[in-house]
Amino acid sequence: MIEAKILEQTGEALRKLYGHELAPGSIGLERTKKEITGDFTIVVFSLLKISRKSPEATATEIGTFLQQNMPEIADFNVIKGFLNLVLNDQFWLKFMMKNAFQPDFGFYKTRQERPVVLEYSSPNTNKPLHLGHIRNNLLGYSLAAILKANGHKVIKVNLVNDRGIHICKSMLAYMKWGNHETPVSTGIKGDHLIGKYYVLFDKKYKSEIHGLIEKGLTEEEAERQAPLIMEAQELLQKWEAKDHETIALWKQMNGWAYEGFDLTYQRLGVDFDHIYYESETYLLGKKLVMEGLENGTLTKKEDGSIWADLKNEGLDEKLLLRADGTSVYMTQDIGTAQLRYDDYHPSSMIYVVGNEQNYHFDVLKKVLARLGKEYGSHINHLSYGMVELPQGRMKSREGTVVDADDLMDEMFRTAEETTRELGKANELSTSDAGNLFKTIGLGALKYFILKVDPKKNMMFDPGESIDFNGNTGPFIQYTYARIQSLLAKADAAGFLWKDAKISTHIALLPLEKETIKRLYQFQETVAQAGEEVSPAIVANYVYDLAKVFNQFYQELPVLKEEENEKLLLRLMITYFVGETIRKSMALLGIQVPARM
């Protein structure tokens, strides 16, 4: 890429002008700011101790050297300590002619290295997926695509939390008040039916706590001694003891949950290469914990519970096995990590999990190190912020979550209303229009969530996400559809733009050059998104590209251009933009319609 050549020649300039060797990596190079003339900027302040001259003089001498020794540089200007380089039109035209029709432009060849195991989703089988899960799934699926585009082999995995006290709460509520109803008998989706009993348990449990407090117990005592929670704990012990009736009910209710999850995943457009179940990993975790106890790296307390004392490492004590022998989430994660290492020997294991679990993953890595598991150092936690609503945070136990299925239905309805109001579906059949509404609705949902830096909390507003003029998925989808319409008209008119040989000596207008420059940045964007594990980098890039193209489209005639070579050039730019939008949106898991 041209950046490497600029850095190499700048190093040569320092050697010849000032007799000093400096590694290219220590030279500051950045894109020139929009309001300043130039394509790339060299920051010379750090070079003044070498030149022993003023910033302006140093920048001028280096700029002159580069212009004389790099045919790609047409001009330069100096503003204080910033050397702004202007590349000639020939460079940008050669770039476009070489890459416009390359299907793999922006993507890197597959690396010959161990795979990356990427975990996302991780639902509990006691409730349906909600808005928070949607952000998790969309981040994980998009990140997998971005890592693959960077040449990594990626194994997408899902860890289903199918056991534990929360699952026992739903089971117990169903045993008490379910009356043998099923998804079929009620017409309720399986995961929704189970979630109904999770909410019911919490309601009844809180009532018991309130009654015990009125009898004089403290809140903590009441929470611990309420009959329902004690029954749920007994049910968990029965499950771990493989009680036949308990296991049968557990399998039945989890089966309902899995069927519900699969439907939601299918609608959302996400998938997995392998699914792990905590019920299959916790025993291995218990085995590893017992081995740690035997070799003295873990400790047992008087009540029989097993702990990792991490106070000397800046953390706290962490419970790994309860006194009654039942496991905790940490136990299961230890076992799951070992299973994944055994299955894939990955170069890294990335967990897409909310930021409320930051401490959990700090502890997991420390405990694995205590247990002698070298792969623990290769665990990376993609910690993302919470999704909030205008009315505040969601709570599953209280039934105040935004259900994933309900949200998608709302997005589809809103997409239909907005699209019909704008008249963008008037010429489509009923079937095609229905598919378009789903494509727009999902695109709006995915883009709105993915354009936000994963580390930040975000506020989700369904109405705001569907806007054909703002920083939204529908705006970008409409830009793509506009491009396809333009190219179809060009083909119908007989313009042979696909095979055109464009002279590299054409003078580019500012908007033509600016659009090509944005296309050039795609490969750098893909690499940066992979390094920073942030789909937001791709999302914001493709929005900027769509904005620039719309300005290009409005201000420069394409099919009305009288000079044939210019017309063909603009059609090639248009096609290149369309393909880059399509690939960018695919990295976000978003489809782009050919017609809108």
Q: Encode pLDDT of 506-539 as tens digits.
A: 999 999 999 999 999 999 999 999 999 999 999 9
Q: pLDDT for 286-320, tens place per residue?
A: 999 999 999 999 999 999 999 999 999 999 999 99
Q: pLDDT for 54-97, tens place per residue?
A: 999 999 999 999 999 999 999 999 998 999 999 999 999 999 99
- Measured CA to CA in angstroms, residue 343 lies from 117, 141, 338 at distances of 10, 21, 9
What pLDDT does residue 396 have? Answer: 42
**pTM for the structure as a whole:** 0.92
What pLDDT does residue 453 have? Answer: 96
- In percent, how much of the chain has pLDDT > 90? 83
Tell me how far apart the alpha carbons of residues 254 and 194 are, in angstroms, rounded to a whole number. 9
Q: pLDDT for 379-394, tens place per residue?
A: 999 999 988 776 544 4
**CATH number for region 437-587:** 1.10.730.10
Least-confidence region, from 387-401, 453-467, 475-489, 548-562: 387-401
Say if residues 13 and 66 touch (Cβ distance below 8 Å): yes
**CATH number for region 2-87:** 3.30.1360.70
In the block, tokens 């679990």 appear at 357
What pLDDT does residue 504 have? Answer: 86
What pLDDT does residue 62 have? Answer: 97
* 3 state SS of 109: coil
Q: Grade residue 397 by pLDDT with cuts at 50, 70 and 90.
A: very low
- Cα–Cα–Cα angle for 487, 491, 496, rounded to 5 degrees: 105
- Is the per-residue pLDDT at 595 higher than 90? no
How, if at all, do strands 82-87 and 73-79 pair?
antiparallel
Write out the two tokens for 358. Answer: 């930051």
What pLDDT does residue 399 have? Answer: 46
- Segment 419-431 mean pLDDT: 83
CATH 3.30.1360.70 range(s) for the chain read: 2-87
Tell me how far apart the alpha carbons of residues 200 and 257 are, in angstroms, rounded to a whole number. 17
Q: pLDDT for 195-204, tens place per residue?
A: 999 999 999 9
Q: Grade residue 324 by pLDDT with cuts at 50, 70 and 90.
A: confident
Indicate the DSSP class of residue 386: P
The domain made up of 120-388 is a member of CATH 3.40.50.620: yes
What pLDDT does residue 1 have? Answer: 87
Least-confidence region, from 250-254, 263-267, 429-433: 429-433
The residues facing 327 across adjacent strands are: 321
Indicate the DSSP class of residue 544: H
What pLDDT does residue 294 have? Answer: 94
Handedness of CA 108, 134, 545, 529 (dihedral sign): negative
* 3 state SS of 295: coil
Q: Grade residue 400 by pLDDT with cuts at 50, 70 and 90.
A: low
- Is the per-residue pLDDT at 156 higher than 90? yes
- Is the per-residue pLDDT at 549 higher than 90? yes
CATH 3.40.50.620 range(s) for the chain read: 120-388
Mean pLDDT of all residues in the chain?
93
Tell me how far apart the alpha carbons of residues 416 and 423 are, in angstroms, rounded to a whole number. 10
- Is the per-residue pLDDT at 579 higher than 90? yes
